C-alpha cells in the first residue's frame, strides 16, 4: 500500500482554537478511515518560547522532540520543516499573519472569519496566487461528514429545490461579567456577534443555497441586515440578516441570526425544500445528527435521522482537505473555494454597512 502524504504544520497562536486544531490533527487518520494523508506538527509560534513550549507539552501527543517552539510567528514562517501554517489568531490579525506566511511561501489555513473585510481577502488571494501557495479559510463545518451527507441528499433531487432556510448560532457570554477587552467585546479585535458567530449560520446557507446546482454559482441577489449593539463597547450584540438567491435558476431565502446574550435553540438549522425538510441539530458548527422529512403535500411520508460519531472533535477533516490539495498542487479547495469566502465576506461587509458598525481606525489593513 502506498505511503500517505504527510503535511507538516506550523501553528500560529496558542489559544483555545489552536489547541482544538492540534489535538484533532494528531488523531490517527485511520480512525476516520483516512489512509492517503497524515499530519505532523513541526513548529509552534507564540509570544514567548515558554508559551509555545507549554502549548506543545499540553497538546502535542506522541514524540514532541521534533517540534520547534518559537517566541515569534516569524520563526514558524522561516522554518524549512513547515509546509503549511494554521492561523488561529483573532480576526483582525488574520490579514497580516496570513500575508507573512504567504510571502514565506507557506500554504495557509486561516481561521474564520478569514479577514476583517472582503478587500483584505482579495489582497490575500492575489498574494497567494503571486507566490504560488494554497490558501483556505478554516470553516471546519463544511468538511465534516454530516455536512457532506446533507449536501449529497439535498442535491440528489429527492427533495426538490430548496425554498427557505433558517439558522441561528447564539451564545450567552455573560457580557456584563467579562472584561471589555475580551475578544467578543473588543472592536479592535473585530468583536461582536456577526464576525465571531455569523459564519456558522451562513455556512449552511451557502452550502444549501449558494452551492445548489440550480443557483449556478450566482451571488446573492439581495442582503438585508440589522444589528442591535451593546452599549458596553458598541459591537453588535444581536444581528439578523436575510440572504436571498434569485439571480438565476434558484429562488430561495435564508434567514440567519446570531446573539451574544442568549443561548441557541433546537434545531439549529431548518432547510425547507419543495418535497421535504432537513433539520440539523445544534450546535451547528459541529452537529452530530440531522433529520430528513419527506413530504407529500403537508403529510410526512417518511422520516429518517442520521447520527455521526468519530474520534476527535471534527477539526481534522479540514486538515485532510488541505493535505490533499497541497499534495495535488491545488491553489484552493473545491469544497470551500475562494469564491465562497468572498461571498461570505461581501455579505458581512454589507450587513456591517447597514448596521453602521465601523471598526476603529487602523483595524482594517486594506479597504
Convert the pLDDT of each residue in 62-74 to its tens digit: 888 899 999 999 9
Q: Whole-number mean pLDDT of the chain?
A: 97
Closest CA to 156 of 82, 213, 240: 213
The SS3 assignment for 142 reads helix
Task: Please state the rounded mean pLDDT for residues 199-216.
Answer: 97
CATH class of domain segment(s) 145-307+343-355? alpha beta
Averaged pLDDT for residues 344-361:
98
Does pLDDT of 1 surpass 70?
no
Whether 360 and 203 have beta carbons less than 8 Å apart is answered as: no
Write the class of the CATH domain 5-141+315-336: alpha beta
Pinpoint the residues of the chain covered by CATH 3.30.360.10: 145-307+343-355
CA atoms of 318 and 273, how far apart (whole Å) = 28
Residue 361 has pLDDT above 70, yes or no: yes
pLDDT tens string 254-304: 999 999 999 999 999 999 999 999 999 999 999 999 999 999 999 999 999
The pLDDT of residue 251 is above 80: yes
Please name the residues in contact with 58: beta carbons below 8 A apart, sequence gap of 6 or more. 19
Taking the CA atoms of 268, 228, 142 and 242 in sequence, report the sign of the dihedral they define: positive
Amino acid 63: pLDDT:
80
Mean pLDDT of 20-31: 97
The residues of the chain that CATH labels 3.40.50.720 are: 5-141+315-336
Q: What is the mean pLDDT of residues 224-249?
A: 97
pTM as predicted: 0.97
Q: What is the model's pLDDT at position 268? A: 98
State the DSSP code for 110: E
Amino acid at each position: 500500500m502506498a505511503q500517505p502524504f504527510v503535511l507538516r504544520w506550523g501553528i500560529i497562536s496558542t489559544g483555545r482554537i489552536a489547541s482544538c486544531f492540534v489535538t484533532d490533527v494528531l488523531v490517527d487518520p485511520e480512525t476516520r478511515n483516512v489512509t492517503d494523508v497524515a499530519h505532523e506538527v513541526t513548529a509552534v509560534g507564540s509570544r514567548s518560547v515558554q508559551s509555545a513550549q507549554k502549548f506543545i507539552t499540553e497538546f502535542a501527543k506522541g514524540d514532541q522532540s521534533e517540534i520547534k517552539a518559537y517566541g515569534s510567528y516569524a520563526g514558524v514562517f522561516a522554518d524549512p520543516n513547515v509546509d503549511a501554517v494554521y492561523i488561529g489568531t483573532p480576526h483582525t490579525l488574520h490579514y497580516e499573519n496570513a500575508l507573512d506566511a504567504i510571502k514565506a511561501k507557506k500554504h495557509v489555513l486561516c481561521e474564520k472569519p478569514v479577514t476583517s473585510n472582503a478587500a483584505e481577502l482579495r489582497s490575500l488571494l492575489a498574494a497567494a496566487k503571486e507566490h504560488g501557495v494554497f490558501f483556505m479559510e478554516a470553516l471546519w463545518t463544511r468538511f465534516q461528514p454530516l455536512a457532506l451527507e446533507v449536501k449529497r441528499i439535498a442535491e440528489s433531487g429527492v427533495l426538490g429545490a430548496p425554498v427557505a432556510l433558517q439558522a441561528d448560532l447564539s451564545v450567552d457570554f455573560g457580557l456584563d461579567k467579562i472584561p471589555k477587552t475580551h475578544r467578543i467585546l473588543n472592536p479592535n479585535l473585530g468583536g461582536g456577534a456577526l464576525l465571531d458567530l455569523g459564519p456558522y449560520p451562513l455556512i449552511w446557507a451557502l452550502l444549501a443555497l449558494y452551492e445548489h446546482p440550480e443557483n449556478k454559482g450566482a451571488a446573492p441577489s439581495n442582503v438585508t441586515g440589522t444589528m442591535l449593539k451593546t452599549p458596553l463597547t458598541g459591537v453588535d450584540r444581536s444581528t439578523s440578516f436575510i440572504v436571498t438567491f434569485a439571480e438565476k435558476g434558484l429562488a430561495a431565502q435564508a434567514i440567519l441570526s446570531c446573539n451574544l446574550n442568549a443561548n441557541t435553540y433546537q434545531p439549529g438549522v431548518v432547510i425547507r425544500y419543495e418535497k421535504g425538510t432537513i433539520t440539523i441539530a445544534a450546535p451547528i458548527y459541529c452537529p452530530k445528527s440531522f433529520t430528513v422529512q419527506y413530504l407529500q403535500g403537508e403529510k410526512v411520508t417518511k422520516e429518517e435521522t442520521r447520527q455521526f460519531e468519530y474520534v476527535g472533535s471534527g477539526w481534522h477533516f479540514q486538515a485532510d482537505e488541505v493535505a490533499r490539495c497541497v499534495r495535488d498542487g491545488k491553489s484552493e479547495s473545491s469544497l470551500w473555494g475562494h469564491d465562497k469566502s468572498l461571498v461570505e465576506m461581501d455579505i458581512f461587509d454589507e450587513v456591517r454597512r447597514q448596521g453602521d458598525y465601523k471598526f476603529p481606525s487602523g483595524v482594517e489593513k486594506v479597504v
